[in-house]
Amino acid sequence: QVQLVESGGGLVQPGGSLRLSCAASGSSLEYYTIAWFRQAPGKEREWLSIIRGNDGSTYYTPSVKGRFTISRDNAKNTVYLQMNSLKPEDTAVYYCAAGGGVVLWYSPNDYGYWGQGTQVAVSS
């Protein structure tokens, strides 16, 4: 099993940047596909990005591609989400999730482990 803890959220002005961290314990993140999701009030949980455990390949949803970057530090067993050019519509609770044998990597149902979430607010 793997335990995940997100951090790095906060209040930022439009156009600003934040880096979210997803620290893992209990198992190496290299064995899992790690995803970032977010959920705004009244909306469904939205998939943002993944980094695959086997080869480190990354994928992004179109709305964040070019602005967000997912990366992994194996030594720290931590995955990051660097978020640049933030917009008010990026305001949400951000979650990292881990899954083994993930097929539908955009589906929350394919991930068995979740962090508690970290709030991101983008406002002037």
Task: Summarize pLDDT for 35-91 with one digit per residue, the tens.
Answer: 999 999 999 999 999 999 888 899 999 999 999 999 999 999 999 999 999 999 999
The pair phi, psi for residue 118, each rounded to 5°, is: -140, 135
Instruction: Answer whether residue 10 shows pLDDT above 90.
Output: yes
Residue 30 token pair:
């290299």
Residue-level pLDDT at 102: 80
Rounded to whole angstroms, the Cα distance separating 35 from 2 reads 14
How much is the pLDDT for 73?
95
Closest CA to 88 of 28, 12, 25, 26: 12
Q: Is the pLDDT of residue 100 over 90?
A: no
User: Residue 60: its pLDDT value, please?
Assistant: 97
